[in-house]
Each structure stands twice: as structure tokens, then as C-alpha cells.
Amino acid sequence: MTVLATSEPVVSRPPISSFEFWPDWLFYLPVVLFWILLGIRHRCLSLPTAANPVVETGGLCGERKSTILDRAGPMAAAWIAPYVVLTTAADDLGRALGALAAAGLALPIVVKPNIGCNGTGVRLAESVEALAAALEAFPRGVELVLQELVNFEGEAGIFYIREPGAEFGRVTSLTLKQAPILVGDGRSTLRELILQDERSGRIPDIYMPRLVGRLDHVLRPGEPFRLVFAGNHCKGSIFSDGRQEITRALSARVDAIMRDLPDFHFGRMDVRFESRAALRAGEGFRIIEVNGVGSEATHIWDPETRIWSAYRDQFRHYRAAFEIGAEMRRRGNRPTPLLELLSFWRLQRRLMASYPLND
């Protein structure tokens, strides 16, 4: 049986959506065609990269996660989970422990690539041994973000748009992210529990590779087992449309934070939160990541979302990205040239292919 890692009431829902695990090329083909049409209309295929000019490629691809976070003003920084950046080399563990100590951080921490997406390579290090193993799993010369683990069970993605020159921005999407958790019966192995479950049994290839060597383990009766740590739907987390949680208080808080990120107009903040009540009040959350124009309004991955609705929301957001990019271009900001953008994309793709499996 799967339960969800949340203290909120759980409503019976479809296990997966009709298109959630389509091949990327198939689902995103209409999005790419729409992007090309907008690019032709605005005479620049890379125009959205001008929407967030202080970030590499505007956050479309190949940007460093730390670039956005480093530029946060004092008010925004107070909401961001503390982190340090480390490049893998000799004596990784000693340097990592030294950097954490200098920043006042202690285990457990989250280890994640500075360049990457979709939760690839994200690892949880709860001990010195786990930290050493996580660092060793990455190639040398890779930049990593070592970030404080926020001990809130709830996780959400909050999409934000602010037109250039506008006094206030707006929250356009909110996604609640939940970890699927198996519950042991004292007889079944992890492999059997995964295959028996209504959701994980349909997509066992998502969960099993990271559990090699543990699939024959038998959980005690009632013992919970979290199938995935990384909060990404393509890695197996369960996404729910949380737009009903958007309140004036939350919108005002998000707007104040994002306006303290210089020249940031379009993207998503990922947060961990204490409770839905606290989130609605604009309190009790910490930012773990901010993504630029390469991010999407992830509420579309709710299992109850219809495909026409998903495309409508995708098109609406990317139309806004082009319009913001057009205004920023008129203000003198230069979109990333296509060849340069291709170089960033190749770098990100090469690095992601070298990362270990996520937790």
C-alpha cells in the first residue's frame, strides 16, 4: 500500500495521469511548435532568455542554481535554505565538512548538482559516510550545492510572473509535491510491494533502479519506506494542483521575495513548508531552489489534469515569457544567441549524463 508523505487529508485520486509518463518528445512536441511560432512572431527564438537578464540564459538551460540564489537581497535571502557551493576534487569530504562548518551548517544536508534539472543527481546525506558516498558518486570537477535539509514534510512549486516595470507580480501556479511511501506487511519484499501498488506497479522502472541491492528487503508490519526523495514527478513524486492554496497573503509574500531578486520576472520557486495553513498565510516555508524560464507550471502533472488543460497552461506561461523577453529587449537586454544557448544546453546534457541516480 502507498501512502503520501503529508499530514493533510488524502483524497482518492487516479494513480497517474493519462500523459504523465509519455516520452518527452511526444508530450513537448506541441510546446516546441508553439515556441517556434512565438519565436517567428517576435523574430527571436531565444527571446525568453532576456526575461531574467542576471541569470545565464535567463534560466532556460545550463544555468547555475547558485547564480539566482547568490543574487538574492537580504529580505529574500532570509527565506532561502542556507547552502555552500563545492567543486569536486581531491579530499572532497574534508573540504565539504570545512565549508559546511564555516557556513554554520551541519548534517543532514542535501547534495545536488549546481547545473542540472528534473532532480537528477539529488542526494540526501544524513551522515558523514553518506556525504562521502554522495560526493564520490559525482565525477571530479563538478560543481555541487550543499544545502541545509529543511525538515518540513510539505513541498511545493510556486510559479511567479512579473511584467517589467510592474509594481507587483503574481503567483500563477502552485503545485503540491508528495512522496509515495510504501507500508510493510512483514511478508512482502520491496520489489513485491512496488509491483503490488496501484501507482508504483505501473511505473516500477522509475523506482527500482535506485533500490538495487535492497529490493529483496522485507519491511516490518506498518514500517514506512519512502520511495523517492527528489521532488520531481519524472523521478516518481506525486504532484497535485494546489492553486486553491494561493491566497493574498501568500501572493504578497512571494512577490516581496521575488522582487528582492534583481531583474527576475519569470520562474518558479521550490519550497518546503510546515503546513498548508502556514503556506496559505505566507509563513512557515523555506526556499530550496529558484528556477528561471526553463521551469514550468508543474500543476499540469496532477493526475486529474486533462491534456488540453495542460497545454493551455503551458502555452499561457510561455507566451508570457516571450512578452516579457520582448519588453526586456526593448529596454536594452540582449537575448542569449542561439549558438551560445546550444552550448549551454550541451553542457547541461553532458553533465547530467554523468550524475549518479537521485535519492
Cell of 123: 542526494
Both 164 and 285 in one domain: the answer is: yes
C-beta neighbour count of 351 within 10 angstroms: 21
Give the per-residue pLDDT at 13: 73
Lookup: cell for 186: 512483514
Kindly state whether residues 23 and 158 are assigned to the same domain: yes
**Is the residue at 248 inside a domain?**
yes
Residue 28 lies in a domain: yes
pLDDT digits (tens, 9 = 90+) for 233-281: 888 899 999 999 999 999 999 999 999 999 999 999 999 999 999 999 9
| Inside any domain, residue 103 | no
The predicted structure's pLDDT at residue 36: 98
Which whole-number Å values give the CA distances from 298 to 18, 97, 238, 349, in the listed order? 15, 34, 11, 21
| CA–CA dist 230, 274 (Å, integer) | 18
Domain-located, residue 206 = yes
Same domain for 172 and 208? Answer: no
The reply to whether 138 falls in a domain is no
**Do residue 170 and residue 40 come from a single domain?**
yes
> Hey, how many other C-beta atoms are within 10 angstroms of the C-beta on 102?
9
Q: Does 2 score more than 80 pLDDT?
A: no
**296 & 331 share domain:** yes
Please report, for the chain, how many H helices and E strands are present, in that order. 11, 12
Domain check: are 287 and 239 in the same one? yes
Reduce the DSSP state of residue 87 to 3 states and report it.
Answer: strand
The pTM (predicted TM-score) of the whole model is: 0.94
Judgement on whether residues 196 and 265 belong to the same structural domain of the protein: no
Residue 88 lies in a domain: no
* 299 assigned to some structural domain: yes
Mark whether 291 and 244 lie in a shared domain. yes
Domain that holds residue 268: 2-81+151-179+232-354
Cα 130 → chain centroid: 22
For 191-202, the pLDDT digits (tens) are: 999 999 999 999
**Does residue 137 lie in a domain region?**
no
Residue 61 DSSP code: S
Total count of domains within the chain? 2
Are 256 and 348 in the same domain?
yes
